């Protein structure tokens, strides 16, 4: 077998650590729910069109169909019908098994009631699971019982308790404000004043959703104190995002300010700012990146994205993640597409004799799991 | 024949709907005029250089030369000489015929006196033609007869009349201000005050060119009311553009505000923000994109751009356009390069078995014309 | 031999003009110094990782190892040990000779004491050398002896003297402020006031580092008056950079303001804004670009970057540079990677019959040296 063929095969079989994902859904979802989970859009496909003609939908019909005993390239209708026949548990079991994931790091802070807990995921898949604490969800969970003056202390207590069972935290300040936030930590008096505004609004009937930039920054800086990996949403996501405000180069000053803190900045998704993220990962010892959900949602074109993630970043700073939420197809396609892309990129480098076979194997293992082990202190 | 060969052949022959272009020039232009039309620059190539060494000029010497009975890769001088020999009408007839365009949607609002009208284009090419109304040109055409108080009503009347014979409108707010405009509709009093400033300046001798952001927004919001496709210049264009202010992610709030309006947002060109446009096209049911003039002007490298337009966007949201203006080579090269790129991308997906042959044919047809039919309600 | 093979061979042998680089280091550096020079980061690789797993480090182990009599893909430790054995002078001589550079244009304004002067470089390599004057370093060198009122005149004198022995100047306003500077020249009174602030601060013990935007703009505008090439740092660089503020589209108004000045704007590096730079190079007769250090630091993936630099820019506006500083591996890899990339891109265009063999040779020569000769008036 050629060296390229060998690395493709190796990457196809490597156990993965999925360093950023969510639980798979429980039960058997309705077709419309499947279709909504298959896109980052918040709305159904327009009349006369189908989500199965999105890059991700195309991949599902190609990669997942055979796992459900269907021919490749079946129609979306056929796929949904077979899904219903098998039922959600069987579909999840088959598709998650196909992903070859040995460990899931689960962000438990989004729509937790509708998806599996880490324990349920461990039972379904037989893989190890770890928890990632979402900062904003944690703050929202304690808000109802807080006074403004007590908020900061209550959050510290809650974070300490939650972090005891977790390997890292996640911030969605990109969604709630943007990455163009003031990089300095807010003063305690500012935090109290902001908490007062927020809690007063909640008491007056406003939704609990935390979007105050002072509080968002406070949460992030409290997380820095934990000296753990902090996952940061970057770039592509649902329609709440204003993309150019999620360019990670807005994080440059924050990266300077946290460089020696012991915290690690894990840039998630990053599309279309993968190159900016790669530059930061080269420059700053504590910055890492993945391409996660952008891989699934670019489907046939995803190798371009993975290739970009390896343009400037050191090989020891790029990680695998599916960012799957709910739909088991996202774990299956995320893994399949990423393995294909990494295998091909390393294969091209081998063909160009820019790396040797031993380095190719070593890099494959680092990208698939070794870098996550180092970042999160696993094992 | 391989599946890849078959799809290349199919795409090479498919009739196209060119959903955004302008009329071809009338008469036989001077060499210097040809050279200026062959670039988005406003100035001649520097001494010692030639526009025929631009990516588009390279493509002309390769793709158009044989259509004018010249050898491929002739020199620019040889090309211009042969062009003169044949005369403008013959050159236009040959090159436009080569494009295989079945229908042109013509933006008639730029330098209308020097290029063909939709009727003239229909006569020359035998293709169907439709009109796209340029909002700013329409406002400028009625300005001389307006009072400030009467402007809004006069514009509504003019738009209604123009739209009756058109399939969509176009906004060049990207050129005149930027896409970072206030996404809300201006208040009527603001419109009147802005019209007063504009008309007063015109009366004092200022050029009619409309660049007031309040009026630009007003025009755009009046167009939303038409519930038709609105073409928006995005990204790459002539030197009036400040590129980073034409990033379509600046349109995120406007896309939210117009999502259920019935209007469609057609993002034109998009280079180098093709990925940002693709994300918006996935997220928002009423957002579409093309790569049009960026394809012609990137010539040999254009398949990279077309590939990017298919990274994140649903297959039912990407359209063909040449954005050709004046020079018949722009229609010929735009079509030839786009067909090559789409054929290759679909061929790669086939080779990877991520789509089957039936999907490949279906997607080719959607991209070439089906999506334009659905967007504009043609046929 | 195929046309593609022939162009690869031709480009592999062409003499290069390195239009932007620095001197190679003197003496034999310690291992830790080599490792720091091998990245744009300011800090060592994190524990358990190695700079030899960065894209550039991978390239060094592949491309430079055989030049030091080591097997390809040796380890970083083996490489450093062999480097020490040979000593800095021998390593520099071998690696610089491998680059095939016929002429170096040396920016002498950064850490001048630790690297070779143009004369020393000429002696080491046998190549011609020219000087590029760094504006900010020049201003900082005269600051100690200036009064605020005398600064502008003293700078003019110093610039005139320095320019007499130089072929161009360089601005690092991207580092010291950003490319989003006010594009107009400051008024003399503003310059004097800014000089007063700066000199007063220096007198009070502040570092001499010039970061005042008024003075940075003044320097740049004085350089415009020279009617020479002005090299501008754009995009990727060390951690001082805030990447999105170094997008060259911020230079659009400055490009308009200087279009007919006689000065040339040479956009350096440009990553990840290579496309934006290419657009400006197409639109403005006096804008040029390279990909220099981004090529070395993207190593195995660098052909993507070179391909992008040729997407929109005319073939007569793209230049070769290594941007090497200190480490001889940067000259060697920069040249090797760039030759490989240009040879492949032209080879693809040949394979697509979009250029003929004569154009391929002509373009290779333009990119390798002809464009630099024209830009800088060499020979």
List, for residues C32-42, the tens digit of each pLDDT value.
999 999 999 99
For residue C113, pLDDT over 90 is answered with: no
Residues B2, B8, B12, B18, Cα dihedral to 10°:
150
| Chain A residues with beta carbon closer than 8 angstroms to that of C294 | 312
Percent of chain A with pLDDT over 90: 97
Task: From residue C180, give the alpha-carbon distance in Å to each of C234, C242, C250.
Answer: 11, 11, 5
Q: Which one, of B208, C89, B377, C236, lies nearest residue A252 by Cα?
A: C236
Contact A64, B304 (CB under 8 A): no
Contact A68, A86 (CB under 8 A): yes
Q: Which residues are CB-neighbours of C50 under 8 A, at least 6 positions away?
A: A316, C35, C57, C76
To 10 degrees, what angle do helices C76-86 and C88-98 make? 110
The two tokens of residue C112 are: 């001048």
For residue C109, pLDDT over 90 is answered with: no
Q: What is the mean pLDDT of chain A?
A: 97
Q: What ipTM describes this predicted complex?
A: 0.97
The two tokens of residue B160 are: 């209604």
Contact A290, A229 (CB under 8 A): no
Cβ distance of A356 and C242 shorter than 8 Å: no
Distance, in angstroms, between B158 CA and closest chain C CA?
35
Q: Which residues are CB-neighbours of A366 under 8 A, at least 6 positions away?
A: A315, A316, C53
Chain C's closest residue to A274, CA to CA, is: C272
Per-residue confidence at B143, pLDDT binned at 50, 70, 90? very high
Closest CB to B279 among A72, A236, A304: A236
Closest CB to A54 among B282, B307, B354: B282
Per-residue confidence at A108, pLDDT binned at 50, 70, 90? confident
Distance, in angstroms, between C236 CA and closest chain A CA?
7
Chain A interface mutation, best of B249, B283, B308, highest count of A Cβ atoms under 10 Å: B283
List the A128-134 sheet strands across, edge first: A16-21, A101-107, A128-134, A166-171, A229-234, A264-269, A287-289
Cβ distance of B271 and C279 shorter than 8 Å: yes
Q: Which one, of C19, C17, C38, C20, lies nearest residue C29 by Cα?
A: C38
Cβ distance of B53 and C253 shorter than 8 Å: no
Q: Which residues are CB-neighbours of C71 under 8 A, at least 6 positions away?
A: C65
CA A334 – CA A323 distance, rounded (Å): 8
What's the whole-number mean pLDDT along residues B135-147?
A: 96
Q: Name the neighbours of A, counting chains with at least 3 Cβ pairs within 8 A.
A: B, C
| Chain B residues with beta carbon closer than 8 angstroms to that of A306 | none
Distance, in angstroms, between C321 CA and closest chain B CA?
21
What's the whole-number mean pLDDT along residues A338-353?
A: 98
| Chain A residues with beta carbon closer than 8 angstroms to that of B316 | 45-46, 48-50, 53
Element (DSSP H or E) covering residue A130: strand A128-134
Cβ distance of A279 and C271 shorter than 8 Å: yes
Place of tokens 């002309």: B60
pLDDT of residue B124: 94
Task: From residue A113, give the alpha-carbon distance in Å to each of A23, A26, A117, A121, C216.
Answer: 10, 9, 9, 14, 56
CA atoms in the 13 A half-sphere facing the CB of A13: 7
What's the whole-number mean pLDDT along residues A345-373?
A: 98
pLDDT of residue C1: 80
Contact C278, C309 (CB under 8 A): yes
Whether residue C272 has a cis bond before it, omega within 30° of 0: yes
Contact C340, C4 (CB under 8 A): no
Closest CB to C62 among A247, A283, A354: A354
pLDDT of residue C143: 96
Closest CB to C282 among B44, B54, B300: B54
Cβ distance of B276 and A42 shorter than 8 Å: no
Q: Which residues are CB-neighbours of A223 under 8 A, at least 6 positions away?
A: A135, A159, A169, A171, A230, A263
Element (DSSP H or E) covering residue B349: helix B328-351
CA C238 – CA C333 distance, rounded (Å): 19
Element (DSSP H or E) covering residue C298: helix C292-298
pLDDT of residue B108: 87
| Chain A residues with beta carbon closer than 8 angstroms to that of C272 | 275-276, 279
Per-residue confidence at A306, pLDDT binned at 50, 70, 90? very high
B20-77 confidence digits (pLDDT tens): 999 999 999 999 999 999 999 999 999 999 999 999 999 999 999 999 999 999 999 9
Per-residue confidence at C62, pLDDT binned at 50, 70, 90? very high
How would you class C46 by CB atoms within 10 Å of its CB: exposed for 0-12, middle for 13-18, buried for 19 or more? Answer: middle
DSSP-assigned states of every residue in C11-61: HHH--EEEEEE-PBBPS---HHHHHHHTSS-SSPPPTT--GGGSHHHHHII
Per-residue confidence at B141, pLDDT binned at 50, 70, 90? very high
For residue B370, pLDDT over 80 is answered with: yes
Q: Name the neighbours of C, counting chains with at least 3 Cβ pairs within 8 A.
A: A, B
For the whole prediction, is pTM greater than 0.80?
yes
Element (DSSP H or E) covering residue C102: strand C101-107
Distance, in angstroms, between C243 CA and closest chain A CA?
6
pLDDT of residue B1: 80
Distance, in angstroms, between B223 CA and closest chain A CA?
21
| Chain B residues with beta carbon closer than 8 angstroms to that of C179 | none
What's the whole-number mean pLDDT along residues A33-56?
A: 94
Element (DSSP H or E) covering residue A158: helix A148-164
Numbered residues of chain B with Cβ closer than 8 Å to any chain A Cβ: 247, 249-250, 252-253, 255-256, 259, 275-276, 279, 282-286, 307-308, 310-312, 314-316, 348-349, 352-356, 358-359, 363, 374
Cβ distance of C55 and A311 shorter than 8 Å: yes
């Amino acid at each position: 077998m050629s060296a390229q063929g060998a690395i493709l095969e190796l990457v196809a079989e490597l156990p993965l650590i999925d360093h950023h994902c969510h639980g798979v859904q429980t039960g058997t979802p309705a077709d419309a729910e499947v279709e909504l989970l298959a896109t980052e859009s918040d709305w159904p496909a327009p009349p006369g069109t189908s989500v199965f003609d999105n890059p991700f939908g195309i991949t599902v019909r190609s990669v997942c169909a055979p796992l459900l005993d269907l021919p490749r390239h079946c129609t979306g209708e056929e796929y949904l019908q077979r899904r219903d026949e098998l039922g959600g548990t069987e579909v999840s079991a088959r598709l998650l098994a196909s992903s070859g994931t040995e460990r899931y790091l689960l962000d438990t802070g989004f729509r937790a009631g509708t998806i599996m807990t880490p324990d349920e995921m461990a039972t379904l898949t037989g893989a190890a699971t770890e928890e990632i604490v979402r900062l904003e969800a944690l703050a929202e969970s304690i808000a109802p019982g807080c006074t403004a003056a007590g908020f900061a202390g209550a959050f510290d207590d809650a974070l300490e308790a939650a972090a005891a069972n977790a390997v890292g935290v996640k911030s969605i300040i990109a969604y709630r404000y943007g990455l163009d936030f003031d990089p300095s930590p807010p003063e305690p008096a500012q935090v109290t004043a902001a908490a007062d505004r927020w809690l007063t609004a909640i008491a007056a009937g406003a939704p609990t959703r935390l979007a105050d930039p002072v509080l968002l920054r406070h949460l992030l800086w409290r997380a820095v104190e934990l000296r753990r990996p902090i996952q940061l949403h970057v770039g592509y996501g649902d329609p709440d995002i204003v993309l150019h405000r999620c360019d990670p180069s807005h994080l440059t000053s924050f990266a300077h300010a946290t460089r020696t803190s012991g915290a690690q900045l894990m840039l998630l998704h990053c599309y279309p700012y993968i190159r900016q993220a790669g530059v930061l990962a080269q420059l700053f010892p504590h910055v890492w990146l993945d391409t996660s959900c952008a891989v699934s949602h670019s489907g046939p074109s995803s190798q371009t994205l993975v290739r970009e993630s390896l343009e400037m970043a050191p090989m020891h700073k790029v990680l695998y993640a599916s960012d799957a939420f709910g739909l088991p197809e996202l774990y299956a396609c995320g893994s399949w597409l990423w393995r294909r892309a990494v295998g091909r990129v390393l294969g091209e480098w081998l063909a160009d004799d820019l790396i040797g076979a031993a380095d190719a194997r070593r890099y494959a293992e680092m990208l698939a799991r070794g870098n996550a082990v180092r970042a999160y202190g696993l094992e």
